[in-house]
Amino acid sequence: MSHSFAHERRLAELAVQRAAVLTEKVLKSVNKGEISKNDSTPVTIADFAAQALLIGAIHKAFPSDGFIGEEDSNALKQDDSLRQRVWELVSSTHLEDEESDALLATPSSIDEMLDILDLGGQGAGGRTGRIWMLDPIDGTAAFIRGEQYAISLALVEDGKEILGVLGCPNLNLETGRVHEQIVDKEGMGLMISAVKGEGAIIRPIGRGGLQTAQKIEVSSAGPENLKDLHFVDWTSSAVWRIDKIRKIADQLGASYPGTEVWSSHMRYVALIVGGGDVQLRIPVKKDKASYVWDHAGAQLIFKEVGGKITDLNGDEIDFGAGRQLSNNWGMIVVREGLYPKIWELAQEALDGEDVGSKF
């Protein structure tokens, strides 16, 4: 790539870091009893506010770029109290390092905040141009429980991932694995990022400027003995054929699941830095299509450290189809050297089903 994307990367990392500071503020308010955790209010406030800050920072720097985000402004327009609480959080959240904070634009009014939210919530995506895809809080139920959640921000150009940033404010890798309940109680977790063709890095999340980063080693081979294969999943899901995935693990003699976390992006993190080797997505329904914000950026990072990802047809994941991955069905996410064997077992598990019938 002739364009280095260094400026985009720094802004994206700082924007994710500021969003992490925001989510920390919300959780502290919950723990102090200032916000009730018995309803959806804290998650809703944090979700809207984080999206406004993420898009606000990027839109100011790159006004011609498009966005796809999960939230739009409708709920805030209908609820004066909620709108005001989100605005108070957005307008008061800053990085402690003045130089870094000055790089990040903030909405200047409630009306601008609502417009910025709609840039993401009403964004349609497409095959051409630069589009930022984001999930301000991936793993909302885990977030409010103090477990693993992620803040994701990705740049897609002409339907291909170019840049990915994952902020993981509770991530603690002391065991070498990702666990819901083993969280970072001293710091603010870790941030992982990558630019296509440049590998991936990991650094602590801070409250000021960016912390020192370390390169993540490439690991494409996986274990020599397939019984040691480490599966990553969420077995309570009703939309995936957990029975078929478990059967594949049984055929390999591997335990299943190895790592189990709820957040989609945190499952990718378990593959990137948590010792995971494979995640399979075999949908229950033929018309099942995932949302782009559950995968964009994280897939790039995994591929940069030795992963390979296709759908169950063997096609690359198409981020240019709109808000959903509507040109793909199912998913094989695995270390590259293991792909042929996992592909073979996945096809056997489909048992003659026509995976392309939805077209």
Check the CA dihedral 310-178-12-10 and report its sign.
negative
Q: Does the annotation place 294 within a ligand binding site? A: yes
Q: Which of 100, 299, 104 is nearest to 194 (CA)?
A: 299
DSSP codes joined into one string, 300-354: HHHHHTTEEEE-TTSPPP-TTSSSB-TT--SEEEEEGGGHHHHHHHHHHHHTT--
Is 140 in the active site? yes
DSSP codes joined into one string, 248-298: HHHHHT--S-SEE-S-HHHHHHHHHTSS--EEEE-BSSTT---BGGGTTTH
Block residue for tokens 């429980």: 145
Catalytic one of 23, 44, 47, 277: 47
- Three-point CA angle 115, 116, 120, nearest 5°: 110
DSSP 3-state assignment of 172? coil
> Quick check: 355 and 313 in contact, CB under 8 A?
yes
Check the CA dihedral 247-268-239-291 and report its sign.
negative
Is 44 in the active site? no
Check the CA dihedral 118-120-123-129 and report its sign.
positive
Q: What are phi and psi of 97, to 5 degrees?
A: -85, 115
Q: Does the annotation place 135 within a ligand binding site? A: yes
Q: Does the annotation place 138 within a ligand binding site? A: yes
Burial 197-221 (b: 16+ CB within 10 A, else e): ebebbbbbbbbbebbeeeebeebee
* Angstrom distance (rounded) from CA 90 to CA 84: 10
* Angstrom distance (rounded) from CA 94 to CA 17: 10
Catalytic one of 93, 106, 140, 310: 140
**Could you give the strand order of the β-sheet that contains 331-335, starting from the edge strand earlier in sequence?**
278-281, 331-335, 307-310
Q: Which of 335, 76, 75 is nearest to 230 (CA)?
A: 335
Residues designated catalytic: 47, 140
Q: Which residues are documented as binding site for Mg(2+)?
A: 70, 135, 137-138, 294
Q: Which residues are documented as binding site?
A: 70, 135, 137-138, 294
